[in-house]
Structure 1
Amino acid sequence: MATAVDKKEDLTTCSICFETFKKPKHFPCLHTFCEGCIQTYITKTFEQARGGVNCPLCRMFISKPGDIKVEEWSTKLPTNHILVSLIDLNETKSGQKLCAACSRENETESAFSWCANCSEALCKACDRSHRRNKASSNHKLIDLSEDFSKDIPLYHADVFCTEHPEKKVEAYCNDHSTVCCMTCVMLKHRKCDNVGSIEDAAEEKKKSKEIQEFSQNLQNLKASLEKLCKNRTESLKTFENDIKKMRADVETLFKQLSDHLNKLKTNITSEICKVEKVIKTEVESEHFEMKCRIPAVENDLSLFETNMKHAPPAQFIKAMENLEKQKEILENFVRDQSQNLREIKVTFKANEKLLELSRVIQECGEVKVSRANYVPQHSIITNVNMLTAVPTLTSKVETGFSVRGIALLDNGKVVLSNDNNKRIELRDPRYSMVLSSLSLPGDSWGIKMTSDTEGAVVVKGYGLVLFKIQNNNIVTIREMETDVNADFVYHQGLYYVGCDNKITVYDSNCRKVRDISVNNKVSYICLRGDNSLCYTAFNNFSVEKSLYCVHMDGSSVYTYSHDKLCDASGVTVDHSGHIYVCDYSYANTNVHQLSHDGKLLRIIFDNLPARPYCISFNTQGDKAVIGCNGTVLMYDMK
């Protein structure tokens, strides 16, 4: 196996085996690997519970298509034709390339030229035939003996229409910023004013300011990621130093405690030894005095017995007088000793504060981890001027169901409602991928994020389901049974829930705080500043054509109506306080942008390709996503 390459690695090198790609296949995140390498990786790391794997490079979760076996997944991944061509070019430049046409006939001929149209190397004979053949006479052939360093077109991979998968795309609609097949041109784009060739559109796009900005944005992203990596490296180094110091501090603390306790131990041990010596000397002295009297008593007893048996009367009388005196002396000694004798008992009473220390202090300290937000010196992300921002369609995803609620996250992913299957889905709209889903007890409608990772969804006829997003998984936090129609808004710990002729306010424990009386059945709702609400309404017998704004007590601030607002639907507000309302009618399919006081600024999205239910912006306002009837539309705002 080859060794790892440096930072300027060859695009044709697999990041798993570090060798030139063999059958390069790519994931939806566009990272490419050898077919064999990625299949081995898939087999080892496939998560049955989640139904997919994480990309080895970017860690993005890739869901397995349901109709493909795990052991065959890599064979069904798209081939990276650009890299196939690059590998061919590299081999051609190095003189290792053989004629492709001859190779198909199991013949071996060195390459002489390169056909830019066919992306194939040709020998001299095939080069001559290629030039003479009418079908290939206009192809661009490059002599390999000449300078081969200039850029040349790579492999021409066919691109097929999303609406008609069997047809190749052949035109570009500038009105809708999308490629299309000729069937789409005749059916869906016949009224469009600016439909042209894909080649012209690509050439114009390559020269556009947006492409330059895109390239610069990628450079900025790379620089920011490098700064973030540097920050993590420095942070880890600081953390390791902190851990090292912490361990040293703990050792110092316990050494100080140990030294102090050892000193206390030495002192009390010394005192015990002193007491032991004094008391032992005292008791031994008393014992000696008493023991010495025993022979005297024994001697007196012996004299008494001898005199009793053998002494003459006079001598006996005299001896008894002496023995009486001696007995009296001994009795006085025993009496004094008995009266003054003390039973000695030695005890140790520990210092109460020391005992309390052992009871109260159950730990020597606390290890705290503090986190502060990383603020780069020069952020690449700035809030967009929403008054001048021009939306550009970047993604159109056919869902097959109506999207009545949608929330755009700052990482580009969306949480949307699936009314067909009673669930919400976490999706990456750029790749049409469902990352995870959460089943609900009823039909899902309005969705709002209450923090970066937590949100709630309206379940019609049931209430709210609170959820959080962890590692691309949606999990339930808890459920709140409330009166609700279609939508809610969250503000300062309170849920403002749209109901029939009222907006009911609940706290985080699902306790009703108050009702705000209004004159309509509330449909979609958003917050206007801190002291007012905007909402649309619905009627069982007709469409509602207005946007209503009310104070927190229900009194009217204004009502917005317009000739091109025939079925007011989803509402939202951007970071600048501008209000947006969707027109779900067949007649208009647009989104109105209003000022804070309800004046029309512009119809910012017009003639949408599908009827819009709801709209959401990211924090900076540079991305917008619109949930429609069967479609999700993603826009860049610049």
Structure 2
Amino acid sequence: MASKMSSDDFDDQFLTCPVCMLHFRDPRVLPCLHTFCKGCLEEWATKQQPLECPTCRTQVNLPDQGVDGLRTNFYINNLLDFAAAKKGAEPGVPCQVCEGGRGDAKSWCIDCAVLLCESCTAMHRKIPATRDHELVPQEVMKEKKGVERFQRKRHCQKHKNQELVFYCETCKALVCTACTVIDHRPGKDHNPVEIATVAQKKKETLQELLQEIDPRLKEIQVSIEEVDKKMSKLVPSKDAATKQTKAYFHQLAELLQKREQEILSQIDEQCQVDGKALQTKKEEIEFELAGLTSAQTFCQQAVEHGSDVHILEVGNQVQTRVETLLAKQVDLESNWSEFQFIENTTVTFFDEKAKNLGGLKTAVDVSKCKVVVKPAVQGLQCVSVLTTINKEGRPCVTNSKAVTTNMKYPSGTSLTTQLQMKHGGVWEISYVPKVTGSHKLEVKVYSQQVGGSPFDVTVQSRDIPVLTIGKEGSGVGELKDPTGVAVDKDGNLAVVEQVNKRVQIFDANTGHSLKYFPIEGEYPFDIAVKRNGQFILTSWGENYGARYYSQEGERLNTFKPDCMIHALGVTAMEDGRMVVAGGTQKSCLLLKPDGSLIREIGMGLLQNPCFIAVNESHDLLLVTDNRLHKVFVFDLDGEFKFSFGEEGQGEGQFQGPSGITLDQAGNIIVVNYDDGRVQVFGPDGMYIRTVATVKGGKPYGILLTHDGYIAVACYEGHCIKLYRYN
């Protein structure tokens, strides 16, 4: 496709680095296919670890050489040369060799990537070192087409004067003619082929991929258009919902204000009624007080100042009056108590009820929402996953305020939870339990309980497996002598059973058996999963070998290369290659996707290689040696790098190391077959910590799941045990 591009097909932006915004200088391509200047990437890498692509934020594992190890974007270089040549064809552009001292530029040297005047061009053709360089004349430079003429020749790093004309299929490297005689001589370990032959096959493969891309692009474009339509409705939908919300709560506010006025009116009326009653009562009591006071005064004057005659004349009358007043039954109580406002509905209760006063109707169907409770470990961050689902049964996004979570310790006190949306409709509920025991996790969406809420969350201590899958037997969900374990394309656990001679697939979250299929070989041992989802199974003993199986369990192929006499641990690489450990042959085999040998690794050093892991970002192979109680590290060229470990029960020591796996940081996780300790080492082999000790099981294969659990195949325990890693 590059050969068809003209100067009109790209603009200056196409040749501009997105970081420095200048024309590319030594453009390097990241695995995500975004291109940047080498210098820009080197500066970016000093500020950020691990390195992320400045454009798409994809995490990048740099090779051992750092940015220098990234591939050069020669196509961009060709376009830069083409642009420079087009500019050089314009009048007044000086020669880049004599700097205009002898005239304007008249030609372009593809090998040197410089503009030359006539004199320098003539001299260029006479010098022995440059006489064979390809020169593009000015008339070709002026044409709008011809990008294919501006392709710098690639020369061998080791043999500087040799052009790269071969491709070693075994090493996956471009080589020159001299390399095919010295370092890449055709034979058992190398297979150099002319570049054109390999390139044509690769072009055909890429052409097939291009044909697959177009329908996918159309599908994506249709999806984008659909999203655009929905986005166009977003603001009107928001405005309508906002208007309805305000109207609804305005009505509620009016009702509350009306009720307030009613109660205030009642208070006023009650106050007036009570005031009149109290005033009447007061007047009645005052009347009695006046009569008694008057009688008291008259009686006292008669006693103190009246004559005997006067006393006898009025005495009977005074006596009768006073006795009558004293005998009169008068209600001196006011019979009134202070009135007050009564909260028939408490503010707290109303606050709870107010949450149900209206709501947001979305596509989410709460009855279909699901929560997956992950195994929890004391003192470590643990998660449960909520998926909000619509009526059609598909994950559906919603706002964070619609989701509420609450967790309780066994004592009933609350435990802080954090809610984070991971991607469309999937929410991660995280928490760090401080005690073991049964916790309660309540999950609500739009104030409605999700089915099953509150959920029981059992928190274990770190040394206890958070989940144990299987028990001894041959039935569904039962295991007999499991040896290898892997994660399939769907995130489920695939387990090799040596006695039952089958692979059984389990749900990694619940431990439920999903399916199983029979496998061949006298002693099945290990399992790996290819990028396309197919399984690789190894076996030893009679009918040994490596076999491919489909995701459905159909045997696709069997490999028994002459070099293989004992197949144990296996791992699959991104490019389709695989590595098999052979205990009897005391080496590891790096194989092509078709099972043919690339090279044998570790011969003369290994005694009983068992399980293997590959650090592809650094081209390293790691293998446990059960007999030597060590882990050996080789590069994929077969060169020994280092080893670590010794026999013992102390930190960093091994008792029959078996399973091995890596975390994202390149740390090495190894389990001992004899004492069950799961230990973590740095990429350099230095001991870091012990994760757990597997009790009573004789562990073989291990792996680190995507969500941070170490799965251990317990051979004599007839189960898979999962421990929290971090």
Sort the TM-score into its range (normalised by shorter chain).
0.5 to 0.7
Are residues 1:300 and 2:295 paired? yes
Match of 1:136 in 2: 131
Q: In the TM superposition, what are the counterparts of 1:307-456 in structure 2 within 5 Å?
A: 307-328=302-323, 330-331=325-326, 333=328, 335-338=329-332, 342-351=335-344, 357-358=349-350, 361=353, 363-364=355-356, 370=388
Contact 1:481 1:510 (C-alpha < 8 Å) held by counterparts = yes
How many residues align? The count is: 450
Q: In the TM superposition, what are the counterparts of 1:94-173 in structure 2 within 5 Å?
A: 94=87, 95=90, 97-103=93-99, 109-131=103-125, 136=131, 139-144=134-139, 147-152=142-147, 153-158=149-154, 160=156, 169-171=164-166
Question: Cα distance, 1:55 vs. partner?
Answer: 0.6
- Structure-2 change in CA distance of 1:7 and 1:200 (3 Å): closer
Write the letter of the residue equivalent to 1:136: R
Question: Cα distance, 1:67 vs. partner?
Answer: 5.9
For the residue of structure 1 that corresponds to 2:498, the secondary structure is strand
Contact 1:498 1:525 (C-alpha < 8 Å) held by counterparts = no
Q: Pick the aligned partner of 1:55 from 47, 53, 56.
A: 53
Match of 1:386 in 2: none
Q: Distance in 2 between matches of 1:161 and 1:125?
A: 31
Contact 1:524 1:537 (C-alpha < 8 Å) held by counterparts = yes
Q: Distance in 2 between matches of 1:294 and 1:521?
A: 117
For the residue of structure 2 that corresponds to 1:59, the secondary structure is coil
Are residues 1:275 and 2:270 paired? yes
CA deviations over 1:585-621 (Å, ceiling 9, x no partner): 32799xxxxxxxxxxxxxx97573548999xxxxxxx
Write the letter of the residue equivalent to 1:521: Y
TM-score, with length taken from structure 1: 0.54
Q: Distance in 2 between matches of 1:526 and 1:81?
A: 36
Match of 1:83 in 2: 76
Q: Pick the aligned partner of 1:285 from 280, 286, 300.
A: 280
Write the letter of the residue equivalent to 2:550: V
Segment of structure 1 superposing worse, 86-95 or 209-218: 209-218
User: Which protein is bigger by CA-based radius of gyration?
Assistant: 1
Q: Distance in 2 between matches of 1:23 and 1:101?
A: 21
Contact 1:521 1:538 (C-alpha < 8 Å) held by counterparts = yes
Write the letter of the residue equivalent to 2:45: I
Q: Distance in 2 between matches of 1:535 and 1:64?
A: 31
Q: Distance in 2 between matches of 1:534 and 1:156?
A: 42
Question: Cα distance, 1:242 vs. partner?
Answer: 6.3
Match of 1:499 in 2: 498
Write the letter of the residue equivalent to 2:109: C
Question: Cα distance, 1:583 vs. partner?
Answer: 1.0
Q: Distance in 1 between matches of 2:317 and 2:492?
A: 110
Contact 1:523 1:569 (C-alpha < 8 Å) held by counterparts = no
For the residue of structure 2 that corresponds to 1:170, the secondary structure is strand
Contact 1:525 1:570 (C-alpha < 8 Å) held by counterparts = no
Question: Cα distance, 1:526 vs. partner?
Answer: 10
TM-score, with length taken from structure 2: 0.49
Write the letter of the residue equivalent to 1:128: A
* Unaligned segments of structure 2, at least 5 residues: 1-8, 365-387, 395-464, 471-480, 530-534, 566-591, 601-609, 612-622, 624-633, 638-726
For the residue of structure 1 that corresponds to 2:556, the secondary structure is strand
- Structure-2 change in CA distance of 1:109 and 1:214 (3 Å): farther
Match of 1:21 in 2: 24
Match of 1:405 in 2: none
Are residues 1:198 and 2:195 paired? yes
Contact 1:524 1:571 (C-alpha < 8 Å) held by counterparts = no
Q: Distance in 2 between matches of 1:361 and 1:143?
A: 84
Contact 1:88 1:97 (C-alpha < 8 Å) held by counterparts = no
Write the letter of the residue equivalent to 1:55: C
Contact 1:99 1:109 (C-alpha < 8 Å) held by counterparts = yes
Match of 1:572 in 2: 549
Match of 1:538 in 2: 540
Match of 1:485 in 2: 483
For the residue of structure 2 that corresponds to 1:327, the secondary structure is helix
Write the letter of the residue equivalent to 1:583: F
Are residues 1:258 and 2:235 paired? no
Question: Cα distance, 1:147 vs. partner?
Answer: 3.7
CA deviations over 1:170-204 (Å, ceiling 9, x no partner): 23589999865547767665699x986435765x5
